[in-house]
Amino acid sequence: MAVAETQLYAKVSNKHRSKSTSALLESLLTKGFTAHIAQKALAATGQKTVEDAAKWLHSHCNDPSLDDPIPQEYALYLCPTGRLHNHLQEFWKESKRQCGKNRAHEVFPHITLCDFFTCEDQKVELLYDTLKRVGDSFSQCFPPSVSLSLHSSTSYLGFFIGDSHANMLKEFAMAFSSEASALADCHVKPCLKQLHLTLAHKFYPHHQKTLEQLAKCINPGETCQWVAALYSRDMRFVHYQTLKALFQYKPQNIDELMINAGDFIYVDPTQQSDVSEGWVIGTSHRTGCRGFLPENYTERANESDTWVKHREYVFVTTSRFFTQTEKEPSVKLNGEVHNPSMSRSVTNVLSLQNATLRRGVLVMRHGETVDQVFGKSWLQQCLTADGKYYRPDLNFPSTLPKRKDSVKHFEYDPPLSCCGIFQSRLIGEALLDQEVTVSYVYSSPTLRCIQTAQHILQGLKLDQKVKIRVEPGLFEWTKWEASRVIPNFMTVTELTNASYKMDTSYRGNFPLSSLVPSESYEEYVSRSSAVINQIITACPSKGKGVILIVGHGSSLSSFTRPLIGLPARDSSDFAQVVRKVSFVLFCFVFFQQE
């Protein structure tokens, strides 16, 4: 294809073919829909046509969450098309037939450029504009073929991207992330680790050889056109199973769900224990309604079946572009940051100059946990048939602490991953470098928070001097607790026996029995304000030193705002703020010296 033809084709391919978002919104407003509901419908349908959005609104007329200000989550993927895509789809089909379904089957073939992030419905169009601008700026240097090399381990099989091409893709992701974050006021995290295209993940080890043989039939140099695509999903159902209805079911009782063949249903596995055998309780993707339905009317679907493609940028290349990029020096990133969130947190420590001369409170979120890395079913992945713990991945902890009751209680009280342990200890070392003196440590009763506190103290070289005080009142908003009940936490005695440095004489301001499941937002705000003020009062005001509080993502807002005289955030804003809080991120509040 001639260069002029290629450039023309790229312009046509990447041009928006539908009406502008503002025109779509105006059309819905003239039909009588309110602005925020119309914007929600447009975001849920990819902002393509008025007809799609209107159909969605009519289907969701009985959706109890229709007025909730919950945005979609978005991700930027680089997806192959053409012959390579066809071969990958054939691998998907054959690997599933011969070895059964694994984690990779949940999503179509792709390279993750920016992982899922939230964006307010009214600002989604800014993401489209960003994708177009950044795509245009990188179109000239995009290679005609992406270097792919096969990599295999006992739990992973896929193609790794060659360094030179990976660096270019990371620059593209960083450019999109930077501009989208600034324009749409959202936190977009580019993928800066080893870029890869997954073929199989979390499969049985004895299937490795079969999967490798199937993968070797794929020619990574096959003709391919790459597309940067922006997808969205419903953030409320990220950890749910997705079912697909095989038949229509008409409700016989008021608490049953109406489904049509082809409907997708979100099912929370943790809420099925009290459901009658042969039935499940779920939420319809089509209507947003919730109810019981017969399980044998459904089959398992893929996670990405309910995702919506919003916009895509087609990279059209020629050999001329390849020659140019071969001659141009590759632009290296300032180091390959494997955890940008953690790096920012450590960097923020540099602002704590002369902290030893001032007294304050450092409120921190715990480190990375195993359930965040390996999913809610992490415990099933690391238990043998007779219930013994083993380490299926190096990011699992080497052991689990002993507890008197069932090991199954760890499901809702998960430990830190090995990366989470490293994060916590590194934060402690950074505080030590800045000569920050910690005099008191309070922790939420969750294992992840206690472990974070322990490893921070080790990094500070204070683990033999400062003891951890377990304060149940520091637990997160119970409405967000997945188990719908207060988890069964390890006791202080069990923690002490497991070599955690606990203050056994401390008695919490809020006993565990005072925590109520599904408390209201007002109750949570009141509890948070009361407990932080009681902690400050209990610690001597004279002298130096910092009070370290290890809690949850919600803690950074709910515990610091009362200290500086600010009212609690509105509940609609609170969830969005909390979602942006990364692991081991902290807020430092200084007190005036008396």
Ordered DSSP codes for 426-474: HHHHHHHHTTPPEEEEEE-SSHHHHHHHHHHHHHHT-TTT-PEEE-GGG
Please compute, for residue 558, the number of CA atoms within 13 A of its CA located in the half-sphere on the CB side.
Answer: 29
User: Counting runs of H as helices and runs of E as strands, what totals does the chain give?
Assistant: 18, 17
Q: CA nearest 154: which of 102, 107, 194, 111? A: 102
Name all domains of the chain by residue range, CATH numbers in brackets.
72-235 (3.90.1140.10), 239-306 (2.30.30.40), 360-590 (3.40.50.1240)
Average the pLDDT over each of 197-206, 295-304, 322-331, 416-425 and give the range with the smallest value. Answer: 322-331
User: Taking 90 as the threshold, does the pLDDT of residue 535 lie above it?
Assistant: yes
What whole-number distance in Å separates Cα of residue 173 and Cα of residue 192? 9
Amino acid at 427: I
pLDDT category, 90, cuts 50, 70, 90?
very high
Amino acid at 188: V
The verdict on whether 207 is a catalytic residue reads: no
Mean of the pLDDT values across residues 505-522?
A: 88
pLDDT category, 592, cuts 50, 70, 90?
low
The verdict on whether 552 is a catalytic residue reads: yes
What whole-number distance in Å separates Cα of residue 375 and Cα of residue 3? 46
User: Taking 70 as the threshold, does the pLDDT of residue 4 lie above it?
Assistant: no
Mean per-residue pLDDT over the chain, rounded? 86
Q: How far is CA 534 from CA 74, 401, 503, in A?
A: 40, 30, 17
Catalytic position from the list 105, 359, 366, 455: 366
Contacts 24+ apart (CB under 8 A), 20-29: 20/125, 21/47, 21/124, 21/125, 21/128, 22/125, 24/49, 24/50, 24/53, 28/53, 28/54, 28/57
pLDDT category, 543, cuts 50, 70, 90?
low
pLDDT at 443: 97
Task: Give residue-wise pLDDT tens across range 259-271.
Answer: 999 999 999 988 8
Mean of the pLDDT values across residues 519-538?
A: 91
Tokens at residue 231, please?
């997808």
What whole-number distance in Å separates Cα of residue 134 and Cα of residue 124? 16
Mean of the pLDDT values across residues 94-120?
A: 94
User: Taking 80 as the threshold, does the pLDDT of residue 95 lie above it?
Assistant: yes
For β-strands 264-267 and 586-590, DSSP reports them as unpaired
Please state the φ and ψ torsions of residue 81, each to the nearest 5 degrees. Answer: -130, 175
Q: What is the pTM of this model?
A: 0.53
Task: Give residue-wise pLDDT tens across range 344-400.
Answer: 444 444 344 444 445 789 999 999 999 888 887 899 999 998 888 999 999 999 999
pLDDT at 164: 92
* CB-CB contact of 324 with 566 (8 Å): no
pLDDT category, 223, cuts 50, 70, 90?
confident
pLDDT at 21: 59
Tokens at residue 552, please?
């949850």
Catalytic position from the list 365, 403, 455, 469: 365
Q: In what order do the strands lie in the sheet with 279-284?
A: 290-294, 279-284, 264-267, 241-245, 298-300
The verdict on whether 365 is a catalytic residue reads: yes
User: Taking 70 as the threshold, does the pLDDT of residue 235 lie above it?
Assistant: yes
pLDDT category, 517, cuts 50, 70, 90?
confident
pLDDT at 17: 45
* CB-CB contact of 476 with 556 (8 Å): no
Task: Give residue-wise pLDDT tens across range 306-353.
Answer: 999 999 999 876 443 333 333 333 333 333 333 434 434 444 443 444
Amino acid at 221: G
pLDDT at 272: 84
Q: Could you identify the residue written with the tokens 């324009």?
A: 183
Catalytic position from the list 60, 285, 425, 552: 552
Task: Give residue-wise pLDDT tens across range 34-53.
Answer: 999 999 999 999 998 999 99
pLDDT at 121: 93
Which residue would you say has higher pLDDT here, 160 or 538?
160
Mean of the pLDDT values across residues 294-315?
A: 93
What whole-number distance in Å separates Cα of residue 558 and Cα of residue 533? 12
Q: Could you identify the residue written with the tokens 């004895």?
A: 206
Task: Determine what percent of the chain is predicted with pLDDT higher than 70.
Answer: 87
